[in-house]
Amino acid sequence: MSRIGKKPIEVPSGVTLTQNGQHIAVKGPKGQLEFTLPDAVTGKLDGNEFTVTPVKEDKTGKSMWGMSRTMIANLIEGVTNGYKKNLELHGVGYRAQAQGSKLTMQLGFSHDIIFEAPEGISVSAPKPTEIVVEGIDKQAVGQAAAKIREYRKPEPYKGKGVRYQGEYVRRKEGKKK
């Protein structure tokens, strides 16, 4: 029995959830997202509650049950509030500047790094050492933030690099004489 899967999903007012077989479409104030349920689970809309149940009580059905419920809950959260990831730049001379959908970063290389934001994702730099990635799709926001972080991961000796806000970087001790 999945603890997460058996919880019903509350559909708030202002959000419309439509089901066409296994295909789920969620439309809200921030946009529209879609998800196709796996064959191992079925979904049912009752008023303003959506429930996901497994077709069979086998391993595949149980593993897809909680995942499908969470994916639909993330769609509803995305179209109502959206998702946001904050990144910090640590290092001398490390800075970022946003122009439209392009993010130009100076990360200690001999050249500037230009990151082109994917469709549906907005990238901004409120301060030269802060980057904000926003969008309605949780997976796309996380992937864009991970790509930006990948350009210069935080290193363990001085802690320089791009890191998530609040991320703890475990520091190592340097050489001794």
The residue extents of the domains of the chain are 9-80, 83-164
The pLDDT, as a whole number, for residue 152 is 95
Architecture of domain 83-164: Alpha-Beta Complex (3.90)
The pLDDT, as a whole number, for residue 73 is 94
Architecture of domain 9-80: Alpha-Beta Complex (3.90)
At a CB cut-off of 8 Å and minimum separation 6, what does 12 contact? 48, 76, 80
In contact, 89 and 57? CB cutoff 8 Å = no
Global confidence as pTM:
0.89
Do 83-164 and 9-80 have the same topology in CATH?
Answer: yes
Q: What is the pLDDT of residues 88-133, one digit of tens each?
A: 999 999 999 999 899 999 999 999 999 999 999 999 999 999 999 9
Is pLDDT at 5 greater than 90 in this prediction? no
Handedness of CA 36, 37, 42, 43 (dihedral sign): negative
58 pLDDT band (50/70/90 cuts)? confident
